[in-house]
Structure 1
Amino acid sequence: MPADTVFTNATALTMSAAQPWAGLVAVRGGEIAFVGESRDLGRVAGPGTRVIDCQGGVLLPGFIDAHMHLFSLVRALLGVDLAPPAVSSIEDIKSVIRRAAEKSPPGAWLTGAGYHEFYLAEHRSPNRRDLDEAAPENPVILCHRGLHACVLNSRALALAGITGETPDPPDGLIDRDLITGEPNGILYEMLGYIREKVMPPLSRDDYDRGLARANERLLAYGVTSFHDASVTNDFVRWRSFARSREEGRLKSRVYMMLAPGAAAQFREQGMATGSGDDGLRLGGVKIMLSEATGQVRPAGPELCALSTDLDRAGFQLAFHAVQRNTVQAAVRALEYIGRNVSARRHRIEHCSECPPGLLARLERLRPVVVTQPPFLYYSGDRYLAMVPPEEHPWLYRFRSLMAAGLVVGGSSDSPVVPGNPLYGVYAAVTRQTEAGWPLLPHEAVDIGQALAMYTVNAAYAASEEKRKGSIAPGKLADFVLLDGDPMKSPPEQIKELKVLMTVIGGRVVREG
C-alpha cells in the first residue's frame, strides 16, 4: 500500500540502534511505515502520495520536553515579561507594572512572570510596597522565575485574605516584615493556591490567546510531545487538555502528571498511569518535596505511606526533588516501596544536587531521572555565585547518572527557562553558562547522549518508547527537521541550529 507522505532527500538521524541513519521516511496513517534511502521512493510512493523534499536537512524524532508547565506558560505569555534582559531592576519592574496599570481598569488583576532577585540591580525581591507604588488600584501578582515564589501587592493580599494573623500553610511560607510581622507580599510555595482559589479564572478569550502563543512556541522549538508537570493537575485539567487537543488548538501530544489529591478522581473513572491515547495520556503523580518551611515536606512517614498507596493503585510516582535533602527523601520513599521502582518507571524530577552517597542508592533503585540541562546555561552563573563551592560537584550530574545505569530525560521546566531543546542539548554537551564559564565539564555528555535525553529517554520516562523517541517502523510519525547536523556541528553552535519543519502524525504542523 502506498504511503500517505514520504520525506525524502533527508539526513535522518533516527536515534534507533537498528538503523541509525536514513535518507527517506514513509508515513501511512500517522505512523512510520518504512525507513530507507531516497532511492526507495519508487517502492513506497503512489499517485496520491505527498512527497516532501527535505533538501538535505537533518530529520530527527520530534523533541519531547519531559517536564514543563503548559498553563503556567500560557499565563506567562499573557502577562508582563520580567525575565532578564527585559528588566534589570526593581525600578524597571515598577515601571512596566505602572504602564500595565495605566492600560487596565481599576480592580483588574495585573500579572508578571520571570523575575529573579539575582538578576536585579538591588539583589532583592520586589515586595508589596514596591507593587503598591506601581499599581495602587489593581491587585498585582508577580511569579518568580522558579515558580516556587510569588509577590502580591496589598490589594491582592486582601483578596487572598492574608493578614498578619494568617498562619503559614502546612507546605508554604508567608514572608513577613521582621519588625511588624506583617506580610511583605512574598509567598513561597503558594502560587498554585493563589491562582486556583484567589484569582479569577482566565476568560475563554484570554486562554485561547495564550494557548495559541504557547502552541506556536512549542512547534517552533520542534516539541512534538511534552510532559505537563503541574502539581495542580486534576480531572478538570484533563478535560481541558482533551478539549484543546480535539479542537486542534494544541498540536503537541501530552503526558499529564496529576496532583496526589486528584488520584481518586481518576481511579473513579477506572484510570491510572498510562490511561488515554497517543494524543493525551495520564502520567505519574507529582509529589512536591519542599524545604520552604525549613524541613522537608511531606515528612518521612507521610511520604512513605502516600507513595506506597499510589504505587499499589497503579500510578507512576514523580518526585519533585531539587536539593540533596529532598532527593534523599525521594530515595527513602522509593526504598520503602522496595519494588517496581524500575518497572513502574518511577521518576525523580530535577535531581539537581546528588552527592556520591545518593548516587550509589539511585544506582541500586534505578528510577528515571528527569532533569533540566538548560538550567546550566540560563542559571549556571547564579549557581557559581550562590551555591557553596563544596557543593558544586553535586550539580546536575548527567554523565555520572548515565554511567550508573539510570535513564536520564531532558526537559526545560518551561516557563522557568525558554523551552528550546537545542539549548538543552548544547548545555548538556558543553556545560557552559550564559557568561561562558564551565560548570563541572567532567559531567558533560556526548551529543548523541544529549539528543537521547530529548527523544528516546524522554519517551522511556513515560513508558512510550514503543511509540515515540526514534524513527522506526510502527512508531508515531513525529519529526523535527533541522538546518544542520547536531552530530557534526561544533558543540558551541548547537544552540544556533534552526527548526525548519515540525511534523506530528505525519502532518506538517509548522514550517520556517
Structure 2
Amino acid sequence: MEVTTPGLLRAVRGGLALFVGLSLTACGGGVEPADLVLVGGPVVTLDEVEVAGGIAVRGEHIVAVGDEADVRRYVGEATRVIELEGRSVLPGLADNHFHSIGGGPGVDLSGARSLEEALNAIAARADETPAGEIIVTNSDWHEGQLVEQRLPYRADLDQATSSHPVVVVRGGHEYILNSAALERWDIDESVQPVAGGRIGRYADGRLNGELVDRAKDLVELPPRPARDRAAEKEDLVDAYQTLARRGLTAVRHPGGSLEQYEMIRELRDDGRLPVRVEYLFRAPRSGSPEDLRAVMATWPDQGGDDWLAVGGVKLGVDGGFEGGLMREPYEEPWGEGGTFHGLQTVPREPFIESVVELRRAGRRAATHAVGDAAIDLVLDGYRAADAVAPLDGERWVLEHGFIPRDDHFPVMRELGVVASVQDHLYLAAPSLVEYWGPDRAAWTTPLRAYMEADISVSLGTDSPVVPYDPWWVLHHFTTRGTISAGVLDDAQGVSRLDALRAATEGYAYLVFAEDRRGILAPGMLADLIVTSEPYLECPDPCLETMEVDLTVVGGRIVWER
C-alpha cells in the first residue's frame, strides 16, 4: 500500500491552493459561485495557515479557504452564506473506536450516580418481571460515575432482588451476578479458575459475583428480543445522526459482524449515511488461527470508498480496566499478593499465528492491548507478521495502548504501527488508581508521549464503554481532567490544536484518507463543523460542554441547530 508522506501532502495541498489562486487571476476575479460559504469567524484549517477567515464549498469539496474578503467572492445568487459571528469552523471530528451508541433493552444504569440509584433501577425492573426470569442491565455505565466509586457486588445486588437472577453488565469485559444468578449457572465456591478470566471473591473467600473476561463464558445470557432488519437499520441511522449532532463526521467500528456491515452497506447504497464509516471485522473469540481462516473467507475484501470501507480485523490479547496485562502486578488487594498481573485472553502462539495469517491474506490487524505486557505481545506478533512481508506503510494498529513504555516506541516506529487511543481515563480514573496505583493510572493513555515519540495517533471514545461525546475526548486530552478524580498528570496534556489534529488529521491517516480528509484546504472533501464558541479561545472547561451548530459531510448539511 502506497504511503504519502506529510511533506508530500503539504506540497500537494499547496499546489491546490496555488491553482485556486491562479484561477482567480486568470478569470479576472470572476469565479464559479460556491454552494456554501462560511465567513466571519475563525476557520481552523490545520493546514499551513492554521486559521483563516472564511471557507467556500462547491459540491463535495472545498474550493477556497482564506481571508474573508477573498472567500466572499465565491458568493452567488444561489449560494448559502453562513455568518459565523465569531463561531469557529473546524474539520469534522472522528471517533476511531465506536461500538454503538449504548442503551438497549436492559436496565439503564447510565443515569445512576450512586449505588442506591443503581440498585433501585434493578429493583424497579424486578417489580415488573415474573419471579425467576433473568434481569440483565445495559453495559453503558461505569462505577466511576457513582459517588461510592465502586461496583455493586453480589451482596448489594441481593438487596435489589433475591427472586430474579441478575447480571449486571459493565462495559465489554465484566459481569457481576447476584446469588440467584450464581445458583442458576451452578457457580459456587468450588468453581475452578478460568484461563484468561478472573472470578472475584470477597476477602473471606466467598464469591462476590464478579466474572471478568473469559470467566464470563460461565454465563449464557438470554438472546436479545428479535428485531427485524429494517428496524435495526433505522437504529443505525438514528445513532449516526446523534453522532453528527455532536460534530462527528466519521466513525470506525472496531470489530463487528458481516450482518451489520451489510446493513451499513445498504444504507450507503441508499445514500442514507450521515457519517463516513470504517469497518473492522472481529476475529473469532476462540483465538484460533483455523477459525480465523474459515471466517475470513466470508468477508468482503479490504478497502472501499469514502463512505464505507473495510479497514481490517480487530483482535485482542488482554482485558480492560480490571484485566489489562501488566509487567508489574496490580495494587493490593487486586494484586493478590503480587501474583496478579492482569489477564491474557489469548495464548501467545495462537495470537502470533493469527496475525501472521492476516499478513499472508493481505489483511490489516488492529489489536486491543491495555497493559504494557499486552503491548509487548502485540508488537512481538507484529514483528512476526513483518517477517512474512514488511509492515511499514501498512499502518497496523495498536488499539487503546493505555500503558506504553519507552521501549515500545522505537518498535512502533520501525513497523509503522499507529495508535488508536481513547478517553477511558476521563471516566474510569478512580478505578484505575485502585487497580494500578496512582503513578500507573496517571500515565494512562499518554497522548503527549505518543506524539513526542513521533507515533501517529488518533482519538475516540470506545462507546458505549465510555460515552460517545467527542467533546469529552478533546476536553480530557487538553486538560487531563477527569469526571471524579481531578487532573491526572497534566504534563501529558496537549494543545487544542494538537488534540484537534489527532481527532481529524490523525484519524484520516489511520484510514488512509489523509489526501482527502482531515484538514480544511482547497480540493479536500468538505467535512466540517461549526461550534457555538470559538474553539481556540473559549476558557476551560468550555470544550467539555461545547455545542455544535452545523455539521457538513461531503458538502451536505447533515445537522443544523
For this structure pair, what is the TM-score category when the shorter chain's length is used for normalisation? 0.7 to 0.9
Rounded to whole Å, the distance in 1 between the matches of 2:157 and 2:441 is 35
What SS does the corresponding residue of 1:33 show, helix, strand or coil? strand
* Aligned partner (choices 404, 426, 444) of residue 395 of structure 1: 444
Tell which deviates more after alignment, 171-180 or 331-340: 171-180
Rounded to whole Å, the distance in 1 between the matches of 2:157 and 2:434 is 28
How far off is 1:379 after superposition? Answer: 2.6
Deviations 1:454-498 (A, max 9, x none): 000011111121222111233222111112222223344332432
1:9 aligns with 2:69: no
Q: Which amino acid in 1 is paired with 2:515?
A: K
Q: Which amino acid in 1 is paired with 2:46?
A: M
Task: Say which one has the larger Rg.
Answer: 2
* Aligned partner (choices 507, 511, 515) of residue 458 of structure 1: 507
Q: 1:128 to 1:376 in 2, by over 3 A?
A: closer
Rounded to whole Å, the distance in 2 between the matches of 1:224 and 1:7 is 18
Deviations 1:227-250 (A, max 9, x none): 1123xx121121122234456665
Q: 1:117 to 1:35 in 2, by over 3 A?
A: closer
How far off is 1:258 after superposition? Answer: 1.3
- Whether the 8 Å contact between 1:110 and 1:138 is mirrored in structure 2 is no
1:186 aligns with 2:217: no
Rounded to whole Å, the distance in 1 between the matches of 2:158 and 2:267 is 37
Deviations 1:180-229 (A, max 9, x none): 98x76533226997999742355248746754653343122201111112
Rounded to whole Å, the distance in 2 between the matches of 1:434 and 1:349 is 23
The answer for the alignment partner of 2:522 in structure 1 is: 473
The answer for the alignment partner of 2:481 in structure 1 is: 432
* Aligned partner (choices 383, 397, 405) of residue 347 of structure 1: 397
1:223 aligns with 2:248: yes
How far off is 1:88 after superposition? Answer: 0.9
- Whether the 8 Å contact between 1:82 and 1:115 is mirrored in structure 2 is yes
Q: 1:15 to 1:97 in 2, by over 3 A?
A: same
Q: 1:357 to 1:306 in 2, by over 3 A?
A: same
Q: 1:110 to 1:401 in 2, by over 3 A?
A: closer
How far off is 1:424 after superposition? Answer: 1.8
Q: 1:140 to 1:242 in 2, by over 3 A?
A: farther
Q: What TM-score results when the alignment is normalised by the length of structure 1?
A: 0.84
CA-atom RMSD in angstroms: 3.6
1:283 aligns with 2:311: yes
Rounded to whole Å, the distance in 2 between the matches of 1:499 and 1:280 is 24
- Whether the 8 Å contact between 2:246 and 2:469 is mirrored in structure 1 is yes
The answer for the alignment partner of 2:345 in structure 1 is: 297
Q: Which amino acid in 2 is paired with 1:62?
A: G
Q: 1:143 to 1:393 in 2, by over 3 A?
A: closer
Q: 1:490 to 1:140 in 2, by over 3 A?
A: same
The answer for the alignment partner of 2:10 in structure 1 is: none
The answer for the alignment partner of 2:557 in structure 1 is: 508
- Whether the 8 Å contact between 2:86 and 2:534 is mirrored in structure 1 is no
* Aligned partner (choices 160, 170, 173) of residue 148 of structure 1: 173
What SS does the corresponding residue of 1:94 show, helix, strand or coil? helix
Identical counterparts, % of pairs? 29
The answer for the alignment partner of 1:81 in structure 2 is: 108
How far off is 1:109 after superposition? Answer: 5.4
The answer for the alignment partner of 1:371 in structure 2 is: 421
- Whether the 8 Å contact between 2:318 and 2:344 is mirrored in structure 1 is yes
- Whether the 8 Å contact between 1:286 and 1:318 is mirrored in structure 2 is yes
* Aligned partner (choices 88, 103, 106) of residue 58 of structure 1: 88
* Aligned partner (choices 295, 306, 313) of residue 361 of structure 2: 313
Rounded to whole Å, the distance in 2 between the matches of 1:180 and 1:400 is 41
Q: Which amino acid in 1 is paired with 2:531?
A: L
How far off is 1:328 after superposition? Answer: 1.1
- Whether the 8 Å contact between 1:4 and 1:27 is mirrored in structure 2 is yes
Deviations 1:341-384 (A, max 9, x none): 34111111111112333334334434111112x33332334434
How far off is 1:502 after superposition? Answer: 1.3
- Whether the 8 Å contact between 1:77 and 1:213 is mirrored in structure 2 is no
Tell which deviates more after alignment, 7-16 or 194-203: 194-203
* Aligned partner (choices 392, 409, 420) of residue 359 of structure 1: 409
1:243 aligns with 2:266: yes
Between the two proteins, the alignment pairs up a number of residues equal to: 499
Q: 1:490 to 1:366 in 2, by over 3 A?
A: farther
The answer for the alignment partner of 1:111 in structure 2 is: 137
1:203 aligns with 2:253: no
